[in-house]
Amino acid sequence: MSLSRRRLLVGGTFAAAAGAFAPAVTLAERFRVPATLPLDPGDWRSVREQFDLAPEYVHLGLFYLTSHPRSVRAAIERLRQRLDRNPFLTVEQGMFEDKYPKFYDGVTQALGRYTGADPQDLALTSNTTAGLSVVYHGLPLKPGDEVLTTDQDHYVQHEAIRLATERAGASWRKIPIFSSHASISADDIVDRIRKGIGPRTRVVGITWVHSSSGLRMPVRRIADAIAELNAGRGPENRILLVVDGVHGIGVEDPRITELGADVFAAGLHKWIFGPRGTGFIWAKPEVWATMRPLMASFTYMEEFNAWAEERPTRPPKRAALFSPGGFQAFEHHWAVPAAIEFHEKIGPARITERIHALNAQMREGLSKMAQVVVYTPASSELSAGLVCFDVKGLKAADTVGRLLSKKILASTTPYRVPLSRVACGIMNTPAEVESALKAIRSLG
> What is d(CA 93, CA 395) in angstroms, rounded to the nearest whole number?
55
CA torsion angle for 239, 139, 167, 174 (degrees, to 10)?
40
Contact between 313 and 306 under an 8 Å Cβ cutoff? The reply is yes
What is the CA angle 140-319-269, rounded to 5?
Answer: 105
Kindly report, residue by residue over 33-48, the tens digit of the pLDDT. 444 568 999 999 999 9
Contact between 122 and 112 under an 8 Å Cβ cutoff? The reply is yes
What proportion of the chain, given as a percentage, has pLDDT over 70?
92
pLDDT at 309: 95
Confidence of residue 26 (pLDDT cuts 50, 70, 90): low
- For 31-35, 170-174, 297-301, 303-307, which range has the lowest pLDDT when averaged over its residues? 31-35
Residue type, 356: H
Query: Which class is 110-343 in CATH?
Result: alpha beta
Kindly report, residue by residue over 369-407, the tens digit of the pLDDT. 999 999 999 999 999 999 999 999 999 999 999 999 999
What is the pLDDT averaged over residues 236-244? 97
Mean pLDDT rounded to a whole number for the chain: 92
Instruction: Return phi, psi of residue 255, to 5°.
Output: -75, 80
> What is d(CA 13, CA 192) in angstroms, rounded to the nearest whole number?
62
Does residue 140 carry a pLDDT above 50? yes
Pairing of strands 420-423, 411-412: antiparallel
E-strand spans in 60-185? Answer: 122-125, 146-150, 171-175
> What is d(CA 204, CA 200) in angstroms, rounded to the nearest whole number?
11
What is the pLDDT averaged over residues 271-294? 97
Q: For residue 348, how far is the Cα from the chain centroid?
A: 15
Instruction: Pick the closest to residue 389 from 310, 326, 444 (CA basis).
Output: 444
> Domain limits of the chain?
110-343, 348-441
Confidence of residue 21 (pLDDT cuts 50, 70, 90): very low
- In CATH, the architecture of 348-441 is Alpha-Beta Complex (3.90)
